[in-house]
Amino acid sequence: MKLRRSQSTQLKNRLSGTLRSWLPILQSSLEELEELLQKYESENPYMQVQSGFEEQFSAKFTHKVLYQSDNSSTTEAIEAKTIQNLSLYEKLNEQINAPLFPTPKSIDIAYAIIEEISDEGYFTGDINEIAKKVKAEPYQVESIRQRFSYLDPPGVGSVNATEAMLFQLRQSGVEEPIYSLVSDMLQDLQNLSKFKNSSNYEEALKVIRSFKNPPALDNMEDSPPVIPDLIIVEKSNGIEVQMNDLFYPDIIIEDCSLDHEFVKKKIKEARDLIDALQMRKATLYKIGLMIVEFQYDFFQGGDIKPMKLKDIAQEFDHNPSTISRAIANKYLACERGIFPMKTFFTTGIDEEVSNAVIKKFIADAIASEDKNKPLSDQKLLDMIEAKFGVKMVRRTITKYRKQMKIGGSSERKRFYQLA
C-alpha cells in the first residue's frame, strides 16, 4: 500500500508540473514556441533546446530569410540590406532638418508629428494635443505638418487619401494647366464626371492613377511567412491530419549521474517540458481531427459551417477558454491555402450558414460587380436572402462589409472611376 501511494503521489506531482508548463506552451504560436523554451533552457543547465527551425525555414521559404549568422563573410551584406531597408520612421527622422525644419521648435513639432503617423503613412494624431505637448499654437503644428508634403515618401503625414494625393501632387513635377486640373479633381472626387469635357482630363486622370495609396505603401513591412501547426492532406482514402513536426523544437536532457537534489529537480522540470510539448501536439492534433469532422465539406471545396468553441470543448472535456488558447495564433494548411484555426469557429446565421460564408459571398459579389453600378448594401442583402434562404437586416451587411474594410457603393464607384 505504501509503495502504491508513493507511485500515485509521484504521478500526481509529475502531471501537475506538466500542466503548469502546458498552458504557456499551448498558447504560444509555433514561431514563439522556441523562444519560450529557450527561456526555460536559460534557467536549466541540464536541458538543451535544439531546433532545425531556421535551417528548415530557409530551405522551405527561400524568398525570406529569418536568420543570418553574424560572421565576417556576411557582415557587409547585412549592413547593405539594413541601409537599403530603413523603416518609415527612420527615413522620416533622417529628414527632420533644415531647410524645412530650421529651428529647434520646428524640429520638436516634427518629431511629435512623426509619433502620430501610422504604418500606412497617415497622420492619426490630434493637432491640439500635440500643441499642448510641445507648448506651441495649433496653427504652428498644422503649418509644420503641411511641410511633410515635401518629405519622402510623398504623401506621408496626410490625414486621408485625398490629402495624400494632394501632397504627392506637390512633388510630382506636373506643370500647368494639368496641375490645377488635377488639384480640382482631387478636391471633388465625388463629381469627377463634370471634368470629362476638359481637354486635359485623360492626362490628369493618368497623374492621379500614378499616386500611391496609402502613401507609405513601399515602406510597409512584409508580413512574415506563416508556419502552420497542422497540415490537412487529401488522400485517395480520405483526409489525413498531420502535425507540422518539421518546425517543432526538441528538448535534449543532458546525461548526468550526479545524485543531487538540484540536479534531480532540473531534470524533472526538463521532462515536464517534454511531456507538455507532447500534450500540446496531442491537443492540437485532436482539435485538427474535430475541425475536419465538423468542416469536412470545406476541405472538399464547400463552405465553412457554423461551429462553436463549446462544441469541441465538450468533446475534449475542457473549458472553452482552453480551446480558445489552443487555437490562438495557430494556423492550418490545406489545399485551399493557410488559414487561422479560429476561422473555422464561426457563429451561425442559421444551422447551415455561417457568417464566414456570408462575408465571403459579399466579398465575391463586390469583386465581380458592375463598376458603373456598384452593389448597394440593400441589394447585397436581397441577393444573400435569395441564395441562402435566411432572414437578415441591412445593418448586418453593412457591419460585415466594414469589418472587411470594403467601402460603400458610392465610395467604390468613385475609385472605379479613377481606375
Q: Where are the domains of the chain?
A: 1-66+225-346, 96-219, 355-418
Q: What is the model's pLDDT at position 356?
A: 75
* pLDDT score at 69: 27
pLDDT in tens, 234-281: 888 888 999 988 888 888 888 777 778 888 888 888 888 888 889 889
Give the H/E segment covering residue 326.
Answer: helix 320-327
User: Residue 144: its pLDDT value, please?
Assistant: 95
Mean pLDDT of the chain: 79
Which band of pLDDT confidence, cut at 50, 70 and 90, is reported for residue 149?
A: very high
Give per-residue pLDDT as tens, 309-325.
877 777 777 777 778 88
Separation between Cα atoms, residue 200 and residue 184, nearest integer Å: 12
Sheet holding 337-340, edge to edge: 238-243, 230-235, 331-334, 337-340
Which pLDDT belongs to residue 311? 75
pLDDT of res. 103? 93
Given this model, what pLDDT does residue 50 score? Answer: 81
Nearest-angstrom CA–CA distance, 123 and 90 = 16
Residue 68 banded pLDDT, cuts 50, 70, 90? very low
Place of cell 506651441: 136
Please give the CATH architecture assigned to the domain spanning 355-418: Orthogonal Bundle (1.10)
Q: What's residue 2's pLDDT?
A: 43
> Which triple of cell numbers denotes residue 34?
522556441
Cβ neighbours around 380 below 10 Å, total: 23
Q: What's the rounded mean pLDDT across residues 224-229?
A: 77
Mean pLDDT value of segment 391-403: 84
For the record, the C-alpha cell of 303 comes out as 463552405
**pLDDT band for position 327 (50/70/90)?**
confident
84-132: pLDDT as tens digits: 456 788 889 889 998 999 999 999 999 999 989 988 899 999 999 999 9
| pLDDT tier at 10, thresholds 50, 70, 90 | very low
Could you tell me the pLDDT band of residue 135, with boundaries at 50, 70 and 90?
very high
Return the pLDDT at 86: 67
Q: Give CA–CA dist 254/191, Å, rounded.
A: 74
What percent of the chain shows pLDDT beyond 90?
20
Q: Are 164 and 122 in contact (CB under 8 A)?
A: yes
- For the chain, what percent of residues have pLDDT higher than 70? 83
